[in-house]
Amino acid sequence: MLTSDDGDEVLQGTLDMLVLKTLVLEPMHGWGITERLQQWSDSVLQLNQGTLYRSLYRLERQGLIKSDWKNTENNRRARYYALTAAGRRKLTQEEKSWARISRAVNLVLRYGEG
């Protein structure tokens, strides 16, 4: 489960989108993805490792990412994940719909504050 630092759960569908996003720049291993998510979210988003790997395996089965063994700069063997073309398209689409939904949610909230 993806949780924020104060323990709130984050929408489950969002995790896959965030994982895809972390791979936009370069292929990465599971540990790297954890670190990057934490960095990019200013340590707000905490990732359960089990959930991460489930997400990775799921995305790989769906053909959105692919993986391969490579050596890290410290010469350790690690599994690197990279976006596929389908993954990139999916991410763009998800970002758009996220933007629309979050805008809508914000509008509603702001309206309430009036």
Partner 1 sequence: MHAFDACVARVRATIALLFGYRHDVADESRFDEEFEFHVAMATEKNVRAGMSPDEARRVALLAFGGRTHMKEGAMEERRSRPLQDFVRDLKFGFRTLGRERSFAIATIGTTALGIAGAVTVFSFVDALFLRPLRVPSGDRVVHVRYAGQHGERQWLGLDAARLLRQQTRSFDVVAVHRSRAMLNAIINNESSSQFAAFISSDYFRALGLRPALGRFFVASEDSVPDRDYVVVIAYSVWQTAFAGDSAVLGQTIHLRGQALRIVGVAPRGFDGVAVGGFANTLWLPTALLRFVGPPCVFQHPCREVSVLARLAPGASAAQADAELATLSKRLSAASFGDDSLRIASVIGMMGLPPEYRGEYVAIARLLSGIAALLLVIACANLSGLLLARGVARRREVALRLSLGASRLRIVRQMLTESLTIALIGGAIGTWWSTIAVGQLMGLFAADSEGFRHLYYFTLDRRGLGVALALSIVTTLAFGVLPALSTARTDPAETIKEGSARVVGARLRLTLIASQVSLSLALLVGATLLTRSYARLMEGQLFDARHVAMLRIRPTSVPYDVPQSHAYLARLVEKLESLPEVESVAFRRNWGMLWHHSTWEVSARRPSAQSPYKAELHSISPRFFATLKIPVLMGREFAARDRPGAPLVAMVNARLAGQLWPGQRDVIGQTITLEDSTFRVVGVVPDYEVHAGNEAPHPAAYIPFWQNPLAPEMDARLAVRVRRDAAAALPALRAAAMQVDPAVPITEMLPMTDQVSATFSELELGKTVMVAAAGVALLLCGLGLYGLVAFLAARRTREIGVRMALGAGRNTIVGMFIRQGMIAVTCGIVVGLAGALVATKALSSWLIDVPPLDIPSFAIALSLVAGIAAMASYLPARRAAAIDPVSALRSD
If binding is defined by CB under 8 A, does position 39 make contact with partner 1?
Answer: no
3-state SS assignment for residue 108: helix
- Contact segment (CB under 8 A) with partner 1 among 2-10, 20-28, 72-80, 105-113 equals 72-80
Q: Which is nearer to partner 1, 66 or 79 (CB)?
A: 79
Residue 20 in tokens:
């895809």
By CB under 8 A, the count of residues binding partner 1 is 23
- Residue-wise burial string across 48-82, b where 16 or more C-beta atoms lie within 10 A, e elsewhere: eeeebeebbeebeeeebbebeeeeeeeeeeeebbe
Rule CB under 8 A: which residues touch partner 1?
Answer: 13, 16, 29-31, 34, 48-50, 53-55, 57-58, 60-62, 76-79, 94, 97
